[in-house]
């Protein structure tokens, strides 16, 4: 077992030990829940994050709002009982420094805006949790990491799947070689995207297309099943609608090679539905999630020995409670800025391979 894999196995033992905390329905409530300021009140914040904070989190709660749309602030203020003094526009954002009711700033903005508001939040003395992808480039990821370290604040990334029973079990099956040594990983996530005017199809805001938005889930799955960092990648792009996807990628496939010999095959798309799986092929069997491997709820899977029957959890509540616990207990989060940086390095390698028309080295 090489050094990289040994360190990942050790980390997984810690992760497995944390699983009961994640799955516990209710534990003793802390004296004070950590306050969360949501920055950006779009569909993800509206439909997933705010309801999780209102109903399912044990260690944190919604205490402040940041939006460039006054009407949204008014509506949310009434719905969640947030005082007017705790509502900000983007120009007023830095005033969060003087708000003792805010411990964590959750950045839920277009990708290109993550670095600015992460740095500003850290400088305001707040811990930062940002949606994935962490930024549009590895260089920006490093700037965010450095800013939080300098401010002595924690930085987490919204890798919610790492906190679900199904993905935790996939990691356990791989790392403890329940079906023998892992030989191959197959992962894919994609969907048919709608509105052609949305920000996700603008390169300046999104940094890329399907790969940045949902392909990153497949990359994450490959990395945490294998337990190593890939050493090379070869990728291919297909584009059937050059008008809608004039600025960003539509469909990409890739192959990652890992130092231990595992081959990983991945795919992502904005062109069609039904691509949603994570599969590990080992010496003596297989294990997989699908046809729902990355959705917000209703995950399912099976192994060569039978179905994976595991509890369903609120992904956003699980990841936020874990981040809050990291702050309260002064321990690192596995969904760290360094994790976000590692994914962006792979993504940049995939884009470079497409541009150069050949396999490229990573690292």
Q: Which of 61, 16, 31 is nearest to 321 (CA)?
A: 61
Give catalytic residue positions. 132, 217
- Scan for tokens 């779009």, then name that residue: 42
List Cβ neighbours of 64 (8 Å cut-off, separation of 6 or more).
Answer: 35, 36, 37, 38, 82, 86, 87, 88, 96, 99, 101, 102
DSSP 3-state helix, strand, coil percentages of the chain (rounded to 5)?
45, 20, 35
SS (H, E, C) 35-75: EEEEECCCHHHHHHHHHHHHHCCCCEEEEEEECCCHHHHHH
Enter the DSSP assignment of 336: B
Copy the structure tokens of residue 138.
């590895």
Whole-number Å distance between alpha carbons of 172 and 320: 22
* Distance, CA of 279 to CA of 326 (rounded, Å): 30
Nearest by Cα to 319 from 41, 49, 31, 44: 49
Q: How far apart are CA 215 and CA 22, in angstroms?
A: 25
Report which of 230, 227, 228, 229 is spatially closest to residue 174, judged by C-alpha positions.
227
């Amino acid at each position: 077992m090489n050094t990289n894999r040994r360190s990942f196995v050790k980390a997984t033992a810690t992760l497995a030990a944390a699983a009961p905390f994640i799955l516990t329905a209710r534990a003793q409530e802390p004296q004070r829940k950590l306050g969360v300021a949501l920055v950006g009140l779009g569909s993800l914040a509206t439909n997933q994050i705010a309801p999780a904070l209102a109903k399912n989190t044990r260690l944190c709660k919604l205490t402040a709002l940041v939006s460039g749309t006054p009407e949204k602030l008014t509506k949310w203020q009434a719905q969640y009982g947030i005082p007017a003094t705790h509502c900000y526009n983007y120009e007023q954002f830095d005033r969060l420094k003087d708000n003792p009711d805010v411990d964590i700033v959750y950045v839920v903005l277009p990708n290109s805006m993550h670095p600015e508001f992460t740095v500003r939040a850290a400088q305001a003395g707040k811990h930062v949790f940002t949606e994935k992808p962490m930024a549009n480039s590895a260089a920006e990821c490093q700037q965010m990491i450095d800013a939080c370290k300098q401010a002595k604040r924690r930085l987490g990334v919204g890798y919610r799947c790492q906190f679900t029973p199904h993905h935790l079990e996939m990691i356990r099956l791989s790392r403890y070689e329940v079906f023998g040594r892992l030989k191959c990983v197959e992962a894919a996530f994609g969907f048919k995207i709608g509105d052609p005017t949305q920000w996700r199809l603008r390169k300046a805001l999104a940094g890329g297309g399907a790969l940045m938005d949902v392909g990153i889930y497949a990359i994450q799955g490959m990395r945490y099943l294998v337990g190593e960092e890939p050493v090379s990648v070869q990728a291919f792009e297909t584009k059937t609608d050059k008008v809608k996807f004039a600025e960003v990628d539509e469909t990409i496939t890739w192959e990652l090679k890992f130092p231990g010999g595992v081959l990983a095959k991945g795919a992502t798309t904005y062109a069609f539905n039904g691509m949603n799986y994570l599969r590990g092929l080992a010496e003596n069997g297989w294990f997989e999630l699908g046809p729902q491997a990355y959705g917000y709820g209703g995950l399912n899977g099976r192994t060569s020995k039978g179905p994976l029957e595991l509890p369903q959890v609120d992904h956003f509540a699980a990841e936020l409670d874990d981040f809050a616990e990291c702050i309260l207990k002064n321990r690192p989060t596995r969904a760290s800025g360094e994790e976000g940086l590692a994914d962006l390095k792979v993504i940049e390698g995939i884009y470079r391979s497409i541009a150069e028309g050949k396999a490229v080295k990573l690292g």
